[in-house]
Amino acid sequence: MRPLFVRRARQLVTLAGSSAAPLVKEKMSDLGIIENGSVWIENGTIVAVGPDDELVRRFADRLAEAEVIDAKGKTVTPGLIDPHTHLVYAGSREHEWTMRLHGATYMEIMNAGGGIHATTKATREASEEALYEESKRRLDQFLLHGVTTVEAKSGYGLSLEHEIKQLEIAKRLHDTHPVDIVSTFLGAHAVPPEWKHDPDEYVRLVIDEMIPEVSRRGLAEFNDVFCERGVFTPDQARRMLEAGKASGLTPKIHADEIEPYGGAELAAEVGAISADHLLRASDEGIRRMADGGVIGVLLPGTAFFLMTKAADARRLIDAGVPVALATDCNPGSSPTVSLPLVMSLACLHMGMTPAEAMAAATINAAHAIGRAHLVGSLEPGKKADLVIFNVPNYMQIMYYYGVNHAETVIKGGKVVVNDGKVYI
Ligand SMILES: O=C(O)CC1=NCN=C1
Ligand SMILES: [Zn+2]
């Protein structure tokens, strides 16, 4: 394989030196930008990063054999990373969206049998092929927006058979698609209608049957729970997260999305790698997350789509919580794959700076899914996952919002998107 030489970026955003621990407080602004920067890539791995003239001198005797991509006037960043998606699902819920536009709430729709239950019905009924194709289409769109690694949750099967089906499809996508997928078991997404009469029996099924089988098959690295009033209580969530830990699944938690419910506190108690949403997290919960090093994954696209106030990122960052960003891609509360738009919303609705949003959608997102040793920054030895944005500086990725500025995407040293088309 010829070396790949990505040259002369007007801004090369490296985030160098951030792989050991997630960035917190003012460190979230240290992007390690190199003006007129270049990257030398061999066999899918970054060999060197630095000013263009330094790399030209260092590799002078190999320039002739290298494939060169001229990024002059453009911005090069690490591949974006989405640490919270519900990627694998069937169907869509635009009719519910119009109900919410006329005043219905998320929980009213769910309690009336819609919401997650509607998607569960569609996902259970979908053939494996249909589910794979629908999810692949979304994954192609993620890639076109510069996202090179995504976390994908189950949670629309809500039975052992169908949860396994979702996770098997996520694995098949990981094996066949350029985008890397990190899987999370979310059997505790909701109590399915057939167990509405006995929620605790469903919790027992999750603990005694689903978690051990998912772990035995190696189909997930994380175990997540939707801890919310009317879904799962903190006590039920604690039991399922502890069961996941006993089976080697690291805890994650959908916490304090709709009302303060102790999710952030529980995340710190069980040693979760991340607590996600946090729109209504308490000060005490945020303090405990900071003390425990729990990453706060914020989802301003969800707040935007649910027409509610977004999480207070400033409060979390100032408290010392490492913050990451994600789309929460799902058919009910955040039907989008545009992580760049989420970065814009992080600035517009959550008080983050463009620099913090960039760190939150790269290295801190990588930490939130246990991949910071591999991706999330441009440093020698890391995977050559890069995006060339057709803007002169990283701020314009978010400032000039609602537009996809990703022009070229390089995954593992291979150009997989060019001029806005996917080449797989
Ligand atoms: O509504 C959905 O399908 C996804 C979701 N889970 C928790 N909040 C939103
Ligand atoms: Zn979610």
Q: What is the pLDDT of residue 297?
A: 98
CA angle 86, 177, 377 (to 5 degrees): 80
CA dihedral over 26, 28, 34, 36, signed as positive or negative: negative
For residue 93, the ligand 1 atom closest to its alpha carbon is 3
Average pLDDT, the chain: 97
Ligand closest to 332 (CA) is 1
| CATH of span 80-369 | 3.20.20.140
| CA 341 to centroid of ligand 2, rounded, Å | 17
Number of neighbours of residue 97 by Cβ within 10 angstroms:
17
- Supply the pLDDT for residue 325: 98
- How far, in Å, from the CA of 302 to the mean position of ligand 2? 9
**Does the domain formed by 4-78+377-422 have CATH 2.60.40.1180?**
no
Per-residue pLDDT for 424 more than 90?
Answer: no
What is residue 196's predicted lDDT score, i.e. its pLDDT? 94
Binding residues: 84, 86, 93, 156, 189, 254, 257, 328, 330, 332-333
Sign of the CA dihedral with 335 first, then 337, 339, and 343 last? negative
pLDDT of residue 419: 81
Query: Which neighbouring-strand residues pair with 72?
Result: 9
Continuous segment of H or E residues that includes residue 251: strand 250-255
Angle (CA) 72-62-383 rounded to 5° is 65
pLDDT above 90: residue 391: yes
**pLDDT at position 18, please?**
85
Start-to-end Cα distance in the chain: 17
* Mean pLDDT (whole number) for 368-385: 98
Domain edges within the chain: 4-78+377-422, 80-369
What is the C-alpha separation between 237 and 27, in angstroms, rounded? Answer: 33
pLDDT at position 306, please?
94
Nearest-atom index, ligand 1, CA of 86: 4
State residue 422's pLDDT score. Answer: 77
Ligand 1 atom with the smallest distance to the CA of 116 is 3
User: CATH topology of 4-78+377-422 equal to that of 80-369?
Assistant: no
406-411 and 386-389 beta bridge pairing? antiparallel
Predicted local confidence at residue 113, as pLDDT: 87
- Rounded to an integer, the average pLDDT of 203-231 is 97
Q: How far apart are CA 84 and CA 86, in angstroms?
A: 7
Q: What is the pLDDT of residues 293-312, one digit of tens each?
A: 999 999 999 999 999 999 99
What is residue 1's predicted lDDT score, i.e. its pLDDT?
85
Tell me the backbone φ, ψ of residue 60, rounded to 5 degrees: -50, -40
Sign, CA torsion 276/311/329/412: negative
Q: Whose CA is nearest to atom 1 of ligand 1?
A: 332
Answer yes or no: is the ipTM higher than 0.90: yes
Work out whether the CA dihedral 273, 278, 284, 286 comes out positive or negative: positive
| pLDDT at position 132 | 98
* Residues lining ligand 1, Cβ inside 6 A: 86, 115-116, 119, 226, 254, 257, 330-333
Q: Which ligand is nearest to the CA of 119?
A: 1
Q: How confident is the model at residue 167 (pLDDT cuts 50, 70, 90)?
A: very high
Predicted confidence (pLDDT) at residue 136 exceeds the cutoff of 80: yes
% residues pLDDT > 90 (the chain): 96
Phi, psi (5° rounding) for residue 65?
-90, -15
Asked if residue 38 has pLDDT above 90, the reply is yes
Confidence at 336, pLDDT banded by 50, 70, 90: very high
How far is the C-alpha of 16 from the C-alpha of 6, rounded, in Å?
Answer: 17
Structure confidence at residue 7 (pLDDT): 98
Does position 17 have pLDDT exceeding 90, yes or no? no
Q: What is the pLDDT of residues 59-97, one digit of tens each?
A: 999 999 999 999 999 999 999 999 999 999 999 999 999
Q: Which residue has the tokens 């090369």?
A: 12
- CA 84 – ligand 2 centroid, Å: 6
pLDDT band for position 373 (50/70/90)? very high
265 CA distance to ligand 2 middle (Å)? 18
Pocket test for ligand 1, best of 189, 278, 336 (most atoms within 8 A of CB): 189
**R_g over Cα of the chain:** 21
Among all bound ligands, the one having the nearest atom to the CA of 156 is 1
* CA distances in angstroms from 255 to 28, 246, 268, 410, listed in the order given: 23, 21, 11, 34
Is there a contact between 210 and 203 (Cβ–Cβ < 8 Å)?
no
Average pLDDT on 21-38 reads 98
Q: How far is the CA of 299 from the centre of ligand 2 (A)?
A: 9
* Token couple for 358: 């960039």
What pLDDT is attached to residue 267?
98
Which pLDDT band, with edges at 50, 70 and 90, does 181 fall under? very high
